[in-house]
A and B are shown apart, each in its own frame.
Chain A
Amino acid sequence: MPYRPFQSTYYNERMQASPALLRARAPYLVKNTITGAAIVALVIGIYTYTIKVISQDEFEDVIVPPEPVRRPQSGSTTDEVKLAMAQKKQ
């Protein structure tokens, strides 16, 4: 076996775990899987709860104000302001 200084012998050339590594991990496989599943379930639970609480379907409590009465549009706003200032001066 050529000595590869920066590659761990616990992984083969294709970076798959070697049998020695799998044997070393074996006593912890079940416990770690359960812990991982519990953490993922916790995260999913937090997301579900948050989105459920902030998402609403009924909007009856929001009162939409009625449309305000509009004057006919004569010109731009600056003309209207000038008109109002002239009226005030008089």
Chain B
Amino acid sequence: MRPPYTCNRCLSLIKSSRPQLRPTPPVRIPRRHHSTKPALPKLSLPKRGLSSTANRKFNQAFEPFEYVDPEGQRRRTVLSEDNLFHSFTHSPVPEIRKRAAFMRQHAYCPHPSHKPTRVAHSDGDLESRKSSETGTVPAHVNFECPDCGVPVYCCEEHWADDYEAHLEVCDVIREINQDDHDLRSGRFFKEFEFAEPQMEEILVNMTSWDTYLYTRDYDALNEDREMRQATKLLTYPMTIASVIHELSPYNIRSGGSMTPEGLKSFSALRHTLHPPRTGGGDTWKNPRLAPPAVRIFVLGARAESSLPRETWMQMIYLFHRVQFSLNFIGPEAMMNRSEPLPERTPNNPFGAVVEDRISNALKISTFVEYYHTLHKTGHFYPYDPYFDVFVVFHPGFGNPASMHEWEETLPLLLETKCPIIATGYSPWDTKQDVDFLQTRFSNEMDILLDPMENRFRSLRWDINDFDPHDVSCDNWGLYAFRGKRYETTRKDADEEVHSERTE
């Protein structure tokens, strides 16, 4: 192509006489989010065949380079899209190297020749293969599997020996490895730009993540990695919303997992969540009395309370003309948060961090306390099944490490007769919790939602640093229960339990 600005003859003369002076390669255009999409179109100005600026080359893929993202902020990319799989020990990200060192100090090799270090939690657990009589001293993990990049066994012989068991989780761990590097690569995350609120008449289809994202008009998440990163955050608000919304995918037909008791509880909630239009508006000319806010108590809150507020607002955008009060209660509720706890005053007797400026429909309060402490003071009394719902995210009711913390809280929760939505972080964890509840409280509680895989679970899996083979995903399993109501009966009359007349 004829260069438009430089004379052809001059060009050929210069090029032939000075072979070192090459035309600059095009500036490395930052690859935004897919490696499959073509790079940004070149500048519309025609390029000169010869340039007077210095020759710039981008050699290593993870040499950090600065770029300006679509929001106009300068960011530093550390890793590119196709360079995300790195061994944890030799990772370019220092945080991940620290994690690898932590794993080497705390995680034990799962090969059956060692002695067991903990109780096996399920039949599929690798600890159950170990025996305490014939086992050798337990060893910390040291050897990194070359396929997944995470230290999983103590030595190469054990890894090769136990290869079939490792293969079950190897590709999941590899994916986790890539996702963790991706999160710290410094790229612009378009999947964390959530959708704006829509009008009430647009019905949201909550059959699955894809239909939800499409009907809520999110930007299209075409890549699997984008879906995984986005759903890891969105799973918390969407798990709650998918259960309490009237367009919930859980129904009382034989495939849907709701029970008739569940339908009763959630219909009461939905009566408040979808109020009929009253003719009122947001001007002074047509005010109407508003009902009290719907209270959602998130118990045992850890990382959920530090989720960006825009994420929690995605749940609020599904409900119109309703106000919500979200209460995070738990001893670790201020995890990852840097706000100082306020003093305990008569107006704020538990030193809660209250955020009421998020929106006119949402107020978030964080209590760093056990729930049973707050319950016994009657701070939230009265509990109304039309307005209140309890949510527990992977509580570990049946997990020996956390069972004792829920001892006191569970009977009090059942006493309130409000629905309790609970999740589990893997199939065996959900089963462990449900089995514990059934054995301990079977005649005091009703199951509202049968335990099954959550449609709005996080699609991204995580490694447990204490046991790399225990891969978990947020909110994998979902179930709901409620305390049974005891009706007073006459001594001589027939006992009617849960009939239409007495309830």
Contacts and interface: CB of A to CB of B under 8 A. Distances in A.
Given A1-B37, A1-B190, A9 B211 contact: no
Contacts of A2: 40, 70
B37 A24 contact: no
Given A2-B40, A26-B210, A21 B190 contact: no
Contact of A19 (B37, B213, B222): B222
A14 to B, nearest CB: 12
B207 interface: yes
B208 to A, nearest CB: 7
A3 B207 CA distance: 29
Contacts of A3: 70
Interface in A1-34: 1-3, 8-10, 18-21, 23-24, 26-27
A81 to B, nearest CB: 76
B220 interface: yes
A55 B181 CA distance: 73
Nearest to B219: A9
B221 interface: yes
Interface in B203-227: 207-208, 210-211, 213-215, 219-222
A59 B208 CA distance: 63
A43 B32 CA distance: 49
B270 interface: no
Interface residues of A, number: 14
A42 B503 CA distance: 50
A18 B220 CA distance: 8
Contacts of A26: 210
B140 interface: no
Contacts of B219: 9
Given A1-B190, A27-B207, A27-B211, A21 B220 contact: yes
B213 A20 contact: yes
A12 B246 CA distance: 34
Given A1-B32, A1-B190, A9-B219, A24 B213 contact: yes
Contacts of B220: 8-10, 18-21
Contacts of B214: 10, 20-21, 24
B210 A20 contact: yes
A21 B214 CA distance: 7
Nearest to A20: B220
Contacts of A8: 220
A16 to B, nearest CB: 12
A27 B205 CA distance: 12
Task: Choose among A3, A9, A10, A24 the residue with the greatest number of B CB atoms under 10 Å from its CB.
Answer: A24
Interface of A: 1-3, 8-10, 18-21, 23-24, 26-27
30 contacts: A1-B32, A1-B33, A1-B37, A1-B70, A1-B190, A2-B40, A2-B70, A3-B70, A8-B220, A9-B219, A9-B220, A10-B220, A18-B220, A18-B222, A19-B220, A19-B222, A20-B210, A20-B213, A20-B214, A20-B220, A20-B221, A21-B214, A21-B220, A23-B210, A24-B210, A24-B211, A24-B213, A24-B215, A27-B207, A27-B211
Given A1-B32, A9-B220, A24-B210, 12 more contacts: A1-B37, A1-B70, A19-B222, A20-B214, A20-B220, A20-B222, A21-B214, A21-B220, A24-B211, A24-B213, A24-B215, A27-B207
For the complex of A and B, the 10 pairs showing the least CB-CB separation, nearest first, are: A24-B214, A20-B220, A9-B220, A23-B210, A24-B210, A19-B222, A9-B219, A10-B220, A18-B220, A20-B222
